[in-house]
Structure 1
Amino acid sequence: SGALLKEINAGANGSSSTFSSDVYATNLDVEGTGTVNLNGDYTGTAIRYNADGTVVLANGRDVNSAITTATTNTGTLTLNGSSTVSGSVGSSGALLKEINAGANGSSSTFSSDVYATNLDVEGTGTVNLNGD
């Protein structure tokens, strides 16, 4: 797809939003403490945590963008299997709260820098950190 939506707002407090196919949007904003389930790839400029929500990426799906947070120690990213995150995650001044990866039998790759308070390897899988 060549066209991107400008912005998607999801993850309101207490809610769960599921995208069943690939998502193409300049920004995917996690606006509250809810959960955003990505069952397809995400392609855009950034997934932006504006609160302490959760993004869950399905097995075999990828994030082709940066992942940012407005405030250190907010936002949880869970990779449920083998996935690649191509952009940077967090920044030196705004760390993601938690990344869960390494499900049994999986291989997850972060292609750029990762700034997170916690990186939890949840199973026997491999987590590759290829940034600086």
Structure 2
Amino acid sequence: MTIVPGQTITLEDVYAHTALTYPNTLVRELTGAEIRQIMEDVADNLFHPDPYYRQGGDMVRVGGLTYAIEPRKPMGQRISDIRAGGVPLSADRRYKTASWAAVGPEAPGPPAYDVVAQHLRDLKRVRLDPRPRVKVL
């Protein structure tokens, strides 16, 4: 389902775009090193050289971050140039993150569809940033 500019976004649209098995959200702080490691782990699920180790799925979707990925590089070397708001991530600095379907402890927050619906109500008008967030090398 695609929503085109000028089209009204309905609650049905929100549900269609956030239909998740594990919809609960999680807000937590992670270091830059932890963020990078999570991204490397997800990339390995997709690009491991041995297809029997590939777990499928898709790459992490990010807001506020940009990064480069080299799928053919080995684990630990695929993700580079991670930036938050245009500034390089610092390995030791803590960043506030939000996610859903979190790996690890159960996500205690509200379902993603409720968060998105409320955010859209608060925004009133959606403006998209056309700049790409991921650079594939």
User: What TM bracket, shorter-length normalisation?
Assistant: under 0.3
TM-score, L = length of structure 1: 0.27
Whose Rg is larger?
2
Higher strand share: 1
Q: Which has the higher contact order (CA 8 A, sep 6+)?
A: 2
TM-score, L = length of structure 2: 0.26
Higher helix share: 2
